[in-house]
Chain A
């Protein structure tokens, strides 16, 4: 898996960073008061789904990642998925 992610605002391209995605999911889970262990577990599972989805792709947009991640996160924690979707849209 060596997909490139095109950023929504700047249209810059960068390689997919799973650690960053893990951090975003973790923050969303913690924001809805999920326990730390549970948050890490959910983040790991969702990251795995996203990596699987990226397997046969070379370039995707950051919005695609957000959409796929959010739909998978909704399975494990709908409230966290809502907060993840709202990231960057709150202020």
Chain B
């Protein structure tokens, strides 16, 4: 690939990641603000129970339906969102549009990620001082975008897209079970720590 094209791809990838980080942090900050302003302390226990149940349900959904059956790695996000993202991703040459695609992809994945974001927001609202919100949200964003950053590094390092896609396709069962197991682990951790022990982080 031409050096200039490679450089452009890298810039577009970085813009996409910045879009993802911006939207993720906005959603968490928004949910935290909502919890601080409108969630009375006496309902905290109930809120945790609702989120834990939701995490278990989403965990099962991720394990069974995250990737659609058949060939490829089609996700269970609304098809209109998926085709829009795929279509625009092919055509975009603009960093602003790449960033906007990052924002839209976070919205498209909200059915699977909203519970974890809400749990983080509840932890922030309940146990963390306002001045510590930014580093914790930043930490969440780093963990959430780690796969994207890894992919960008691999592409910048000269790895072929086909090789990465082949790995995704071959490992999709593992990936969806790992993601589902992660949701279960978060639910169990929240149940023990925040419901049974009523403790802090």
Contact surface of A with B, Cβ cutoff 8 Å? 27, 30-33, 35-36, 79-80, 82-83, 85-86, 88-91
* Chain A residue nearest in CB terms to B86: A91
Are B74 and A31 in contact, with the CB atoms below 8 A? no
A-B contacts at CB below 8 angstroms, number = 50
Nearest CB in chain B: distance from A80 CB, A? 8
Which residues of chain B are near A36, meaning CB under 8 Å? 2
CB contact list, B43-75 vs A, under 8 A:
70-75
Question: Of B31-39, B138-146, B161-169, which binds chain A?
Answer: B161-169
Chain A residues positioned under 8 Å from B2 (CB to CB): 35-36
A-B contact pairs, 28 of them (CB 8 A): A31-B161, A31-B162, A32-B160, A32-B161, A33-B1, A33-B158, A35-B1, A35-B2, A79-B160, A79-B162, A79-B163, A82-B162, A83-B161, A83-B162, A83-B165, A85-B71, A86-B71, A88-B72, A89-B70, A89-B71, A89-B72, A89-B73, A90-B72, A90-B74, A91-B74, A91-B82, A91-B85, A91-B86
Residues of B at under 8 Å CB distance from A?
A: 1-2, 5, 70-75, 77, 82-83, 85-86, 90, 158, 160-163, 165-166, 169
Smallest CB gap from A80: residue in B: B162
A62 shortest CB reach to chain B, Å: 15
B residues near A86, Cβ cutoff 8 Å: 71-72, 165, 169
In the assembled complex, how far is the CB of residue A20 from the closest CB belonging to chain B, in whole angstroms? 13
